[in-house]
Amino acid sequence: AQTVTQSQPEMSVQEAETVTLSCTYDTSESNYYLFWYKQPPSRQMILVIRQEAYKQQNATENRFSVNFQKAAKSFSLKISDSQLGDTAMYFCAFMWNKLVFGAGTILRVKS
Amino acid sequence: SQTIHQWPATLVQPVGSPLSLECTVEGTSNPNLYWYRQAAGRGLQLLFYSVGIGQISSEVPQNLSASRPQDRQFILSSKKLLLSDSGFYLCAWSTSRDSYGYTFGSGTRLTVV
């Protein structure tokens, strides 16, 4: 069974600075997808970024980018120029046949 | 465009009472549908998923059941709620290829008292 591990329960960052959230996963599959979801205080789940495992190029979406290391089974999220609205819980998720989530990292952006 | 509706937003129910949470999807046909539960401050646990009408797969044994009476309707039920059923329940949908992840509803906060 696939598992996703987020080792940082909570993190904080100053507004305008950069922060990196860590994620590792375990799978024997070679073709899969990885995601980062954001859950703000409203608790709405919002897709932040998506990575296809067969693509070596790291995905980017505006201020959000990932560092995908397939051999190490690592998928970290970098948030540049952090904004107060980035305060949320962030979930790393793995999908081969179903979407499996990590336990989440609470990110607080401080002014 | 596709939208997903989930209701109610909040529910307080006594122990032993029945439960029915409903989720509907608009703007697509034959979606894959999912029910997740999120305990306080924790990750999401997949409870049920469905790839078609009447087709339900359960991920974990529990006090809950799911049904899909129509193509775009997914219902989460219980005959008798337990205190441990409290949590935040999220419905989600995806296309049959689902490589773009799932789209989630706004969730139901269930408190069993």
Do the Cβ atoms of B110 and B89 come closer than 8 Å?
yes
Q: What is the pLDDT of residue A35?
A: 97
Contacts of A102 in chain B (CB under 8 A): 43
Q: How much is the pLDDT for B30?
A: 94
Q: Find chain B residues with C-beta within 8 A of A103's C-beta.
A: 42-43
pLDDT above 90 coverage of chain A, percent:
95
pLDDT value at B1 more than 90 = no
Q: What φ, ψ does residue A44 adopt, rounded to 5°?
A: -70, 130
Q: Which residue of A has its CA nearest to B49?
A: A98
> CB A95 to CB B43 under 8 A?
no
Average pLDDT of chain A is 96
Inter-chain touch A91–B44, beta carbons under 8 Å? yes
Q: Which residue of B has its CA nearest to A99?
A: B101
Is some CB atom of chain B closer than 8 A to the CB atom of A50? yes
CA distances from A84 to A80, B57, B95 (A): 12, 40, 33
The residues near B99 (Cβ < 8 Å, ≥ 6 apart) are: A33, A52, A95
Structure tokens at A20: 């990196």
Smallest CA-to-CA distance from A91 within A51, A26, A47 is with: A47
List, for residues B35-78, the tens digit of each pLDDT value: 999 987 778 999 999 999 999 999 887 899 999 999 999 999 99
pLDDT given at position B43:
87
Report the C-alpha gap between B13 and B6 in whole angstroms.
Answer: 17
Distance CA B48, CA B37 (A): 10
Q: Does B56 touch chain A (CB under 8 A)?
A: no
Overall average pLDDT of the A46-59 stretch: 95
Whether cis (ω within 30° of 0) applies to the bond prior to B8 is: yes
Nearest to A101 among B43, B49, B103 (CB): B43
Per-residue pLDDT tens for A59-109? Answer: 999 999 999 999 999 999 999 999 999 999 999 999 998 899 999 999 999
pLDDT at B97 over 80: no
Asked whether the predicted pLDDT for residue B96 surpasses 80, the reply is no
Beta-carbon separation of A43 and B99 below 8 A: no
Find all residues with CB under 8 Å of A67, minimum gap 6, and list them: A20, A58, A74, A75, A76, A78
pLDDT of residue B98: 73
Partners of residue B49 in chain A, C-beta under 8 Å: 98
